[in-house]
Amino acid sequence: MRSMTGYGRIEENIGNYSYTVEIKSLNGKHLNIKTNLPWIYSSLELKVNDILKKYFKRGSLNVYIDIRLIQPKDIIKIDKALAKSYYDALNELAKYLHLSDLPDLELLVKFKEIMRYSIDEKDLEAIWDGLEIVVKKAIEKVIETQKSEGEKINKVIMEYVDNIENITNDIEKYAGDMKKYYSDKLKESLKDLDLEIEYNKERLEYEIALILERGDITEEIDRLKMHIKKFRDVALSNVEAMGQNLDFLAQEMHREFNTIASKSKLKEITALSIDGRLFVNKIKEQVQNIH
């Protein structure tokens, strides 16, 4: 079980480049990736995102990437003709406005078009080879923290599941008292009518059977047991989108408790079904943070 909350940071030198990759993972219903990458390497963003999608199916990922040269390399190209054109234009403007200050280098470098970054395909491939290694190591760190947090969540959820199982067993025990309950209620109703009549025992049994059939919760109890077993199986598996699977099973358990409460007239069963729904709601809160 993995939480959607995790963190990983790796700094490593590979070849002529120094890499820093930091990944923060937070809760999110769907996968949302925000990558902060130096614009000169923006063409690598899709490759980074493709790797992330292999390891994360849900959550909000904030990814920070920094790439720096270790040794100087000729990757900056100067557009000398454009620089001369800017200088001449600024010089002409200064004269026109009768300004004493003439354009200098500090002013010219503010025009970004003059200095251009240029990375050839071979260098870009080398940068990606190193970046891919560091990104995967950062992902491993994130998953490690997610699993650690997931173990804590799993412990809490399993306690809730144990409570739900105990409640289900108690409901099953009280379900056996349903016949006596309805029989007593019918007899009391007949006495309240204050009629001096003899009621047919077989007819009374028939009426009780009809009521019991309408209020039968055997199927709901069986389905609850099935959902509980399935929930445990999924929680112990490596199934993808585990959080979504567990959330679905929690909804199914909630539905069964609702049906039991609507069918049964025993106050003990009604109280137990309310307790069951409370624990299911607690599970639903927890599974929202499961990857």
Task: Looking at the structure, tell me whether residues 109 and 200 fall in a common domain.
Answer: no
How far apart are alpha carbons 137 and 9 in whole angstroms? Answer: 8
Please give the DSSP secondary-structure letter assigned to residue 74: -
pLDDT at position 206 is 59
Are 86 and 67 members of one domain? no
Write the CA distances from 106 to 47, 80, 110, 115, 245, integer angstroms.
37, 15, 7, 13, 60
Question: Domain limits at 12?
Answer: 6-73+120-145
> Do 182 and 222 sit in the same domain of this protein?
yes
- pLDDT value for 207: 60
pLDDT score, position 6: 92
Q: Are residues 242 and 219 in the same domain?
A: yes
Structure tokens of 170? 């108690």
Shared domain check, 54 and 101: no
> What is residue 265's predicted lDDT score, i.e. its pLDDT?
75
Would you give per-residue pLDDT tens digits along the chain (291 residues)? 888 899 999 999 998 889 999 999 998 888 899 999 988 888 899 999 999 999 998 889 999 999 988 876 666 778 788 888 888 888 888 888 888 777 887 777 777 777 776 677 888 888 899 999 999 999 999 999 999 999 999 999 999 999 999 999 998 888 776 666 666 666 665 565 554 455 556 665 656 566 655 657 888 899 999 999 999 999 888 877 788 899 999 999 999 999 888 887 788 888 999 999 999 999 999 988 888
CB 12 within 8 A of CB 134: yes
Cα gap 10→217, rounded to integer Å: 56
CATH of residue 10's domain is: 3.30.230
Comparing CA positions, the residue from 198, 162, 138 lying closest to residue 282 is 162
Separation between Cα atoms, residue 183 and residue 209, nearest integer Å: 10
Both 132 and 252 in one domain: the answer is: no
Whether residue 202 is contained in a domain is answered as yes
My answer on whether 62 and 103 are in the same domain is: no
- Token pair of 58 as six digits: 């849900």
Residues 29, 106, single domain; the answer is: no
Domain end among 63, 97, 115 = 115
Say if CB 247 and CB 284 are below 8 A apart: yes
pLDDT of residue 288: 87
In a domain, 1, yes or no: no
d(CA 109, CA 225): 72
CA nearest to 281, candidates 163, 150, 151, 146? 163
Looking at the domain assignment, is residue 196 inside a domain?
yes
Residue-level pLDDT at 63:
95
Asked if the structure places residue 53 within a domain, the reply is: yes
Interacting residues of 142 by C-beta distance below 8 A, sequence separation 6+: 6, 7, 8, 23, 25
Domain count, the chain: 3
Residue 162 is assigned to a structural domain of this protein = yes
In a domain, residue 245? The reply is yes
Calpha distance 76→99 (Å, rounded):
32
Q: Is 181 found in the same domain as 152?
A: yes
Same domain, 134 and 228: no
Round to the nearest angstrom and report the end-to-end CA distance of the chain. Answer: 8
Residue 251 confidence (pLDDT)? 94
CA distance 186 to 201: 11
Domain membership of residue 272 (yes or no) is: yes
For the CA atoms of 284, 139, 9, 5, what is the dihedral angle to 10 degrees? 0
Residues 38 and 130 in one domain: yes
